[in-house]
């Protein structure tokens, strides 16, 4: 019988180091040709109601699955379906709001590990939502951060975020007065916003900055000005196929120049050592993250395996299982 794992179960079972390992290993299998992922598709209904679906399979790990989620009236509801790749057996239905936040942060940590300068110590983050929390928690696992500055348009939310993240990380997270202040002097920059229009100018970026841009995953949305994208010597994405559909930052910066896409690499190539994450300390590097189903699959499988060991979750009758 499949195991039902609720948000409460996932929070009890999932930690960031495990998620980072899971995402990194899934990227290695993707690079080796043992993992497959289909890009996100969106079924749009009137009044901005969406059903989103994405699929992945990992032959070596023995899993296949899907992530489904609806977005309606500002509320998103997520579920991951986990199947055994050899038998097709459905083994788990996993509520996946927190799981998605953690796996997105984990992917930024992996990108930072391979693309940021080893001595990077100063982090700037724009955005104060749930994704911004797991981004800081994740990147702090791969770099010894000495200074963290954050910015958000709502000052009250910003100050609350900084207090909570200071308590969570055990090191000060300082509110900035502007996006520009956040970006300047940052060794690592994270953008985790819902912005429709650019909020980061290329003129603000210092030599050697690494950017994790995670907020915009619609073609018409962007967080980075064209000059910020243009200054990136190395651009990585999770999936070029998905980036062609969703990465407004790149789609709008590249315009009709399709040759620009030939210079974009997938993060899995960098993790596997097939292509460099940076060639020198002065280069600006960019990871444009949209989120792919193989990350949900990898992290969901780890949650399920730990749930079995610890006896968490609830077995349910489903699909003729006895």
Q: What is the domain range of residue 52?
A: 3-100+294-315
Residues 209-218, mean pLDDT to the nearest whole number: 95
96, 136: one domain: no
pLDDT of residue 69: 97
Q: Which of 243, 282, 223, 291 is nearest to 69 (CA)?
A: 291
258, 133: one domain: yes
Angle (deg, nearest 10), helices 130-139 and 97-115: 40
- Chain centre distance of CA 150: 18
pLDDT digits (tens, 9 = 90+) for 127-139: 999 999 999 999 9
pLDDT of residue 185: 87
- Please report, for the domain that includes residue 13, its CATH number: 3.30.1780.10
Confidence of residue 143 (pLDDT cuts 50, 70, 90): very high
Confidence of residue 180 (pLDDT cuts 50, 70, 90): very high
42, 168: one domain: no
Say how many domains are in the chain: 2
- CA 205, CA 304: separation in Å to the nearest integer? 41
User: For all residues of the chain together, what is the average pLDDT?
Assistant: 96
287, 298: one domain: no
Q: Quick check: pTM over 0.85? A: yes
Residue 84 lies in a domain: yes
Residue 69 lies in a domain: yes
- Is pLDDT at 320 greater than 70 in this prediction? no
């Amino acid at each position: 019988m499949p195991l039902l794992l609720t948000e409460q179960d996932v929070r009890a079972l999932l930690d960031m180091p495990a998620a980072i390992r899971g995402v990194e290993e899934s990227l290695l299998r993707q690079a080796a040709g043992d993992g497959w992922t289909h890009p996100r598709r969106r079924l749009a209904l009137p009044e901005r109601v969406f059903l989103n679906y994405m699929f992945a399979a990992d032959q070596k790990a023995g899993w296949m699955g899907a992530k489904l989620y609806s977005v309606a009236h500002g509320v998103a509801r997520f579920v991951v379906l986990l199947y055994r790749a050899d038998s097709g057996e459905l083994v788990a239905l996993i509520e996946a709001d927190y799981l998605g936040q953690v796996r997105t942060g984990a992917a930024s940590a992996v990108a930072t590990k391979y693309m940021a300068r080893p001595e990077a110590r100063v982090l700037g983050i724009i955005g104060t939502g749930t994704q911004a929390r797991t981004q800081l928690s994740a990147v702090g696992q791969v770099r010894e951060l000495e200074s963290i500055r954050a910015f958000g348009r709502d000052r009250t939310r910003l100050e609350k975020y900084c207090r909570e993240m200071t308590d969570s990380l055990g090191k000060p997270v300082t509110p900035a007065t502007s996006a520009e202040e956040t970006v300047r002097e940052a060794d690592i920059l994270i953008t985790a916003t819902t912005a429709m229009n650019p909020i980061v100018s290329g003129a603000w970026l210092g030599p050697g900055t690494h950017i994790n841009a995670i907020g915009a995953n619609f073609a018409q949305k962007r967080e980075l000005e064209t000059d910020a994208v243009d200054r990136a010597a190395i651009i990585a994405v999770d999936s070029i196929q998905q980036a062609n559909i969703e990465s407004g930052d790149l789609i709008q910066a590249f315009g009709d120049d399709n040759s620009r896409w030939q210079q974009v690499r997938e993060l899995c190539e960098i993790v596997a050592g097939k292509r460099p994450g940076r060639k020198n300390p002065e280069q600006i590097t960019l990871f444009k993250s949209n989120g792919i189903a193989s990350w949900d699959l990898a992290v969901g499988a780890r949650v399920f395996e730990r749930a079995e060991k610890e006896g968490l979750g609830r077995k349910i009758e489903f699909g003729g299982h006895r």
